[in-house]
A and B are shown apart, each in its own frame.
Chain A
């Protein structure tokens, strides 16, 4: 029965959308034809009729939540009393918040750069060995795993048992095998941040690699041959010809992963829940917003800080996109 319902809803939805456009268009033509002597094609109303559904959805699901978040950030924990900038003052003085900002910066510096670098290196090298396709498949596969799923896998990798016990985490097992001491990796402050980043890198390198692989194919062979005849070594060709060719791809991948990293949440939640100095903004926001009774004021303030970080990158992205269009 559910499947039947599903079909019915799809049919109703699609026909509602269709009839909106057809009827609105018909009504428009009828009314404009009646009250205006201008050519129907030149009507200034028609674009708005067609854009209206999209604009409304944008308004309800994007503009409203943003403005509501901004409003809540100036109110108390129940969103009832106006408290001015006190949430912001709190945030700037809160040690968890400061730690999160620092950690987010660390993620921002390490993860996009490493993913881009590894992706490009692997894509370039994989084309030169016969088992390249196999290697690329292996590296691409983590892409299919959710962040939480990946965290569970890596939790096993980092698993710690007291010295003398059998180590079921592969990292500790290897270290113990070679005579070292086991460590609780995800509880070692500062360095544990990097152990968490490894998970994101493990997942995102595949994406970078696949896109770079396609971009590398698009470089005309003759240009590389021309450089070879000009006397350039393979290393020089890579840095002087291939990298400039890929510059746009590099920017796209780097920004995509940067935005993803700014929102990093699942990995930290699943691995440490922000303990041992691994807190990040998204997890901190979740904590304040939904845990311990909830504080919509502080939660919203943290959300706005995340948005503040994403906005410059988005603006830059949009401008670059516009420039590409104009070319």
Chain B
């Protein structure tokens, strides 16, 4: 069952059409991640769901009720902000209890909810402190705790991990995923970090310039990007894009020019393509292999070697963008070496001149 249904949502800031006819269903108890570069409208959509931003046209319904005109507090949602947005003059306990006191719950009820949340987040010993005395990670836990105590139907997260350092971010990522399991709540999470999206989401919604570029499960997006933007956005390091043109087209396959070195045969085609069309070939770094065999391969000079331990990324000289190749962690290849690179034609993506996949 869909918890949140967004229909033809539009938002203008002056003449800027920042959200363009977005429609989206978010399943109950799912973890949905809205991801995209800054300015794509992901936070705006989240804030419209929260009721912090007005809606120009279209509807948002939560649990079957249209909430367009409801104030934030009547939407049964809780939100966690990037800056934590804690109340600096209140203790952690009061930060978490503030909303409950406004709901006029009994003292016992407030106590038990705050202690339960504190236990889940392991911040029991911090309850009497002020936000100033907490580290970034602890503050974020309090912010999440404040959301949990209100027992909302929907949790909204607006880049909650962006202000944390790398190690803490990885840790909190795991804890948020665990929390989602524990609470059985619907969570909507906004981030610009594709790693966060990939690791936590049931469903990723990729946004680009106010429109949904593609939505689906993380692996679906990874393996079957619908367009150049999603292909490039999901995956790190990003997919290699090679601009080229079709040399010859047959009924089952196309033959292309690759880096001016060779003609390759791809078993992909579409009725819309013609000989001479410009296309972009997308190959992920792990689908490029160093090989002695010269089949499907070309030569390149290495100019950067990034050793990560578990793997190594080699950056090859190419006109325009460099080409990134993933190889073994104990690779002996050095800067300046010339290597042969081969690719698997079944694992590559072909995008037409309109940046759509074929």
Q: Please give the residue numbers on chain A whose beta carbons come within 8 Å of chain B beta carbons, in ascending order.
A: 220, 222-223, 225-232, 236, 240-241, 244-245, 247
Judging by beta carbons under 8 Å apart, are A231 and B103 in contact?
yes
With a cutoff of 8 Å between Cβ atoms, the chain A residues found around residue B99 in the complex are: 229-231
Interface 1/0s, chain B 66-80, versus A by CB < 8 A?
Answer: 000001110001110
* A-contact bits for B50-73, CB 8 A (1 contact / 0 none): 111000000000000000000111
List 27 interface pairs A-B (beta carbons < 8 Å), by A numbering.
A222-B81, A222-B83, A222-B85, A223-B83, A225-B52, A225-B79, A226-B81, A226-B87, A227-B87, A228-B72, A229-B51, A229-B52, A229-B73, A229-B77, A229-B78, A229-B79, A230-B73, A230-B98, A231-B72, A231-B103, A232-B98, A232-B102, A236-B102, A240-B87, A244-B88, A244-B89, A245-B88
In this assembly, does B316 line the interface, its C-beta being within 8 Å of a C-beta of chain A? no
Docked-complex contact B89 and A230, CB < 8 angstroms: no
Given A244-B89, A245-B88, A247-B89, check contact A226 B102 (CB 8 Å): no
Does B226 interact with chain A (Cβ within 8 Å)? no
Tell me whether B85 and A220 are in contact (CB under 8 A). Answer: yes
Q: Does B203 reach chain A (CB closer than 8 Å)?
A: no
Q: Is the interface of B mostly helix, strand, loop or mixed?
A: loop
Q: With A and B bound together, what is the CA distance between A223 and B154 in angstroms?
A: 19
Give the nearest-CB partner of B98 in chain A: A230
Partner of A227, one of B82, B88, B89, B98: B98
Chain B residues near A226 (CB, 8 Å)? Answer: 79, 81, 85-87, 146
Instruction: State in angstroms the CA–CA spacing of A227 and B52 once bound together.
Output: 11
The answer to whether B86 and A230 have CB atoms under 8 Å apart is no
A222 to B157, CA, bound (A): 13
A231 engages B81 (CB within 8 Å): no
Q: Give chain A's interface secondary structure class.
A: helix
Report the bound CA distance from A223 to B77 in whole Å.
16
Set of chain B residues within 8 Å of A228, measured between Cβ atoms = 52, 71-73
Closest B residue by C-beta to A241? B87
Q: Evaluate contact between B83 and A230: CB separation under 8 angstroms.
A: no
**Interface 1/0 per residue, B118-156 and A, CB below 8 Å:** 000000000000000000000000000010001000000
CB contacts under 8 Å to A, within B81-113, are 81-83, 85-90, 98-99, 102-103
CA distance A292 to B102 in the complex (A): 66
In the complex, the 4 A-B pairs of residues with the closest C-beta atoms, listed nearest first:
A231-B73, A230-B99, A244-B89, A222-B85
Kindly list 20 other residue pairs between chains A and B, CB separation below 8 angstroms, not including A225-B79, A226-B146, A229-B52: A220-B83, A222-B82, A223-B83, A223-B86, A223-B87, A225-B81, A225-B85, A226-B79, A226-B87, A227-B87, A228-B73, A229-B73, A230-B98, A230-B146, A230-B150, A231-B73, A240-B87, A240-B98, A244-B88, A245-B88
Chain B proximity of A243: nearest CB distance (Å): 9
B73 near A223: Cβ-Cβ < 8 Å: no
Complex-state Cα separation, A145 to B51, whole angstroms: 46
Chain A residue at minimum C-beta to C-beta distance from B152: A229
In the bound assembly, the distance between CA atoms of A245 and B87 in angstroms comes to 9
CB distance from B132 to the nearest CB of A (A): 8
Among residues of A, the one whose C-beta sits closest to the C-beta of B81 is A222
* CB-defined contacts of B89 to chain A, threshold 8 Å: 244-245, 247
- Which interface residue of A226, A228, A241 has the most chain B CB atoms within 10 A? A226
Given contacts A229-B77, A230-B150, contact A223 B85 (CB under 8 A): yes
B69 to chain A, nearest CB (A): 15
What residues on B are CB-neighbors of A232 within 8 Å? Answer: 73, 98, 102
CA distance A225 to B84 in the complex (A): 11
Note all chain B residues with C-beta closer than 8 A to A225. 50, 52, 72, 79, 81, 85
Most buried by A among B51, B72, B86, B150: B72
A230 touches B50 (CB 8 A): no
Residues of chain B within 8 A of A245, CB atoms compared: 88-89
CB distance from B250 to the nearest CB of A (A): 58
| Residues of chain A within 8 A of B81, CB atoms compared | 222, 225-226
Q: Which of A223, A227, A231, A241 gathers the greatest number of chain B CB atoms within 10 Å?
A: A231
Residues of A within 8 Å of B77, CB to CB, are 229
Question: Which A residues are in CB contact (< 8 Å) with B86?
Answer: 223, 226
B160 → chain A closest CB, angstroms: 12
* Cα A230 to Cα B52 with chains together (Å): 12
Contacts of A227 in B (CB 8 A): 87, 98
